[in-house]
Amino acid sequence: MSVRVRFAPSPTGYLHIGGARTALYNYLIAKKHGGKFIIRIEDTDEERSKREYEKLQLEDLAWLGIEHDIGPGKEDEFGPYRQSERLHIYQEYTDKLVEAGLAFYDFCTDEEIEKMREMNEKEGTSAYTGKWREEAHFAEAKQRVAAGEKTSVRFKVDPTKAYEIDDLVRKNVKFPAQMVGDFVIMRSNGKPTYNFCNVIDDHLHKISHVLRGEEHLNNTVRQLMIYEAFNWEAPKFAHLSIMIGEDRQKLSKRHGATSVHLYKEESYLPAAMNNYLTLLGWSHPEELSVFTKEELFSVFDENRFNKSPAMYDIEKLKWTNGQHIKLMSEDVFFSYANEAIAKDHFYHTQSDEWKKVCLSLLREKINMITEIPKLIDESILNESFVQTDELKDILSWETTPAILNHVKEELKKEEGTHVSAESFNSWMDFCKKELKIKGKPLFMGFRGVLTGQNHGPDLKVLIPLTPIEILRKRINSL
Ligand code: GLU
């Protein structure tokens, strides 16, 4: 069987990270099996669906590098792939079910439906108790439809039947009989319901595996009934574990950003997003936690899904981002940083050479590119020191005043905007050879008087990056 999988977003908002994970898993399964990854736009909800959102969601997927093979604008012979362009198809299949006696026109009034709902709620059932299910009323219903009356169509559920699936995530799932009552497949406005058009499309689009969020598990029983009614083979299902926040509640905005575009705006790396999302409900066969999606093409295995809820941990995502930052080539990192660092930051006033040295110095220390400007502010642009106990200690050593004096004198002589690495080395050499200061008193003495701290980035690189005016201000503040 050829593998054809689909991501079927409803274009009613931005791409959610849960949706991105579903898309990614589908994409990886297609890649693993040399199959096709399809995008189907489920836009039958006229009020909530917007073309603009479809565009934005596709842009976010493209940012993640999750490119589809087939979909709107990339049709194959089984399209179209936008549900709003398939309404005639749903109508045709509705008619088939009605003709076969497997669905019926329902003329119950809103009040009758409301009464039924109240009764069902009271009794804990979901049965349809209107009269239109009965054969005896079919002829009348048909006449009313032929006369142009608009009405909804319900699927006739056999309450004696139970269903089960062999889910790739949840294994054997049983749906007991009587779980659902006769459900609407076609609304009176000619719009099909999700469960109906989803099945028609998955069948006609030749979908082999349906991977989607666990919240759809309850819909699956209705869908199985429709497959059965048409005598169609159902695809393989995988209901992916839900995502939860640290408080074990379903992931929502209170836990942080849930839309992909916000991560894009915060300059997260798409490779890191993909890496992290892949591990929310799936584990690598070699237990690896850092990889690219391309490295998964051969190893992604649909039997390694985990059914327990996946904890969304933003710190872990940031860590993963840091790992991918370390994996980037220097050139790629340079253009990424130039793009991501705010245009009005001091960084952009410096030469390319300065930027490259600065980035290579700070890259090891960060998980997020947005930490770079902060690190520059703190370790390169700060003009005076906080008198910490550590600094007081260094300043109290008997060797430190000599270092301080020497640096002060040398800084007076410097003419450029920055101290060269050679100059800085010669200051150190002088203190070592002429003043006989060695080891910790030498290194820590320099660090203390020049940075006000007892630890930090390599001084030989950091000091030449620091504007000389700032070094002078620091020294004079001591
Ligand atoms: N449009 C549905 C959603 O966005 C698709 C569910 C499915 O994949 O079947 O949740």
Beta strand pairing status for 4-7 and 36-39? parallel
- The model's pLDDT over 139-198, given as tens digits with 9 standing for 90+, comes to 999 999 999 999 999 999 999 999 999 999 999 999 987 889 999 999 999 999 999 999
Closest CA relative to residue 403, chosen from 478, 317, 294: 478
Q: Among 4, 6, 7, 10, which is best to mutate for testing ligand 1, by the most ligand atoms less than 8 A from CB?
A: 10
pLDDT at 320: 98
pLDDT of residue 475: 94
The amino acid occupying position 49 is S
Pocket of ligand 1 contains residue 49 by CB under 6 Å = no
Pocket flag, ligand 1, residue 42 (CB < 6 Å): yes
pLDDT tens-place string over residues 186-243: 999 999 999 999 999 999 999 999 999 999 999 999 999 999 999 999 999 999 999 9
Cβ proximity of 235 and 209 under 8 Å: yes
Q: Are strands 103-106 and 152-155 parallel, antiparallel or unpaired?
A: antiparallel
Instruction: Give me the pLDDT at residue 62, please.
Output: 98
250 has which bridge partners?
244
Question: Is any ligand 1 atom within 6 A of the Cβ of residue 324?
Answer: no
How far, in Å, is the centroid of ligand 1 from the Cα of 177?
A: 24
Distance, first Cα to last Cα, the chain: 76
- Ligand 1 close to Cβ of residue 212 (< 6 A): yes
Ligand 1, residues 165, 194, 209, 242: which to mutate, most atoms within 8 A of Cβ?
194
Of 120, 90, 298, the residue nearest 198 (C-alpha): 90
281 lines ligand 1 (CB under 6 A): no
Q: Indicate whether residue 9 lines ligand 1 (CB < 6 A).
A: yes
pLDDT tens string 74-89:
999 999 999 999 999 9
- What ligand 1 atom has the least distance to the C-alpha of 219? 9
| Residue 214 near ligand 1, beta carbon < 6 Å | no
CA distance linking residue 16 with residue 24, whole number of Å: 12
Nearest to 113 by CA among 218, 192, 217, 188: 188
Overall pTM surpassing 0.95 (yes/no): no
**Which string of DSSP letters, residue by residue, matches 180-216?**
S-S-EEE-TTSPBPHHHHHHHHHHHTT-SEEEEEGGG
Cβ–ligand 1 distance for 241 under 6 Å, the answer: no
Q: For tokens 């699936």, name the residue.
A: 165
Residue nearest to atom 10 of ligand 1 (CA): 9
Question: 6 pLDDT exceeds 90?
Answer: yes
Q: Report the chain's mean pLDDT, rounded to a whole number.
A: 96
pLDDT for the residue numbered 176: 87
Does ligand 1 have an atom closer than 6 angstroms to the CB of 10? yes
Specify the 3-state DSSP secondary structure of 357. Answer: helix
Give the C-alpha separation, 132 to 444, whole Å: 89
- At 30-67, the pLDDT tens digits run 999 999 999 999 999 989 999 999 999 999 999 999 99
198 lines ligand 1 (CB under 6 A): yes
SS3 80: coil
Atom of ligand 1 nearest to the CA of 6: 8
CATH number for the 382-477 domain, one of 2.60.120.380, 1.10.10.60, 1.10.10.350, 3.40.50.2000?
A: 1.10.10.350
Token digits for 422? Answer: 């050679």
- Closest Cα to atom 4, ligand 1: which residue? 9
Q: How far is the CA of 234 from the centre of ligand 1 (A)?
A: 16
**Which CATH code fits 1-70+241-327?**
3.40.50.620
SS (H, E, C) 269-310: CHHHHHHHHHCCCECCCCCCCCCCHHHHCCCCCCCCECCCCE
